[in-house]
Chains A and B, each alone.
Chain A
Amino acid sequence: MAEQSSVVGKSYEPFEYEVGREKIREYAHAVGEENPVHFDPRAAHDAGFHGVVAPPMFAVVYSSGAIAPAMFDPEVGMNFAMMVHGGQEFAWSDLVYAGDTITTTASVLDISKRDDKTFYVFETVSANQDGREVVRGTWTNIERGG
């Protein structure tokens, strides 16, 4: 813990993800999204969007490449055998469309101990190719014991 606290504030290499229309369709199908703006370009245009729209929770797809190196960072030192995903928050701004390039930067927001649990909190900030923020994620992992 003593050495872990010094890692708070550390940020990682930005991760770039190009959003594919069929990847949005695959994701929308997996989570049961029924709104055609997530898979039908015509429906998306008719609804006033300039392309197929990613569902809000598609954020996990383009963020995962940024959050993984933070979570697996030996300096952070999470024990995955004792870890659960305790909480998640996303705050959305601009929509994400098929064809966008999303750049996500992860950082260590906080590490704290309560009772026999250690809370590891990470933040991701994602922006599109125009530099506009699309989502901010807060990822809380809880390690039991230790």
Chain B
Amino acid sequence: MEQGEQIPELRVTPDRYLPHRYAGASGDFNPIHIDGEFAQQVGLPSTILHGLYTMALVARANTAAAGGDPRSLRRLAVQFRGMGLPEKEIVVRGTVRAAGEGGTLVDTEAEQEGNRIVRNAEAELAI
């Protein structure tokens, strides 16, 4: 990969029950993710996605860009902003900021209907 190159986009539309499956898989049962009524009571439009689920999509996009070997993702730092919602497409995009012998740095973000839900993400790949 070369500086300025885009990594392949990852597009995922989490279904209505994704937050339930992620809650079970991760152990995070915060009701804002799994109880629509509770979520609305605290001012949210519906259940919201777990931030760490969205981060996992950013990790997937970067690992795939490096050829798929799980060892290739050395480091990933993200900032969560806004909130991700089920049933709306998430697009993960990244641009190579630097590539050298020490590895490749990719600036990444995840966006949903124009809302950047993960921004300033930096991935370090061992390629």
Contacts and interface: CB of A to CB of B under 8 A. Distances in A.
Q: How large is the interface on A (under 10, 10 to 19, 20 to 34, 35 or more residues)?
A: 20 to 34
Interface stretch (A1-9, A27-35, A100-108, A125-133): A27-35
Contacts, number: 83
Given A30-B21, A57-B55, A86 B60 contact: no
Dominant secondary structure of chain A at its interface with chain B: mixed
B60 A90 contact: no
B52 interface: yes
Nearest to A64: B27
B57 A87 contact: no
A53 B60 CA distance: 14
Interface in A76-104: 84-92, 95
Contacts of B12: 32
A125 B75 CA distance: 14
B24 A91 contact: no
A50 B55 CA distance: 27
Contact of B68 (A30, A35, A54, A85): A35
Contacts of B78: 87-89
A121 to B, nearest CB: 12
A30 B57 CA distance: 11
A88 B55 CA distance: 8
A53 B75 CA distance: 17
B103 interface: no
A123 to B, nearest CB: 13
Contacts of A60: 26, 28, 52
Contacts of A87: 77-80
Interface in B1-48: 12, 18, 21-22, 24-28
Interface in B70-87: 70-71, 73-80
Given A26-B25, A31-B22, A57 B56 contact: yes
Nearest to B18: A30
A27 B25 contact: yes
B71 A31 contact: no
Given A31-B57, A91-B74, 11 more contacts: A30-B21, A30-B53, A31-B22, A31-B25, A55-B59, A56-B59, A64-B27, A85-B80, A87-B80, A92-B73, A95-B71
A90 B26 contact: no
B70 A30 contact: no
B18 to A, nearest CB: 7
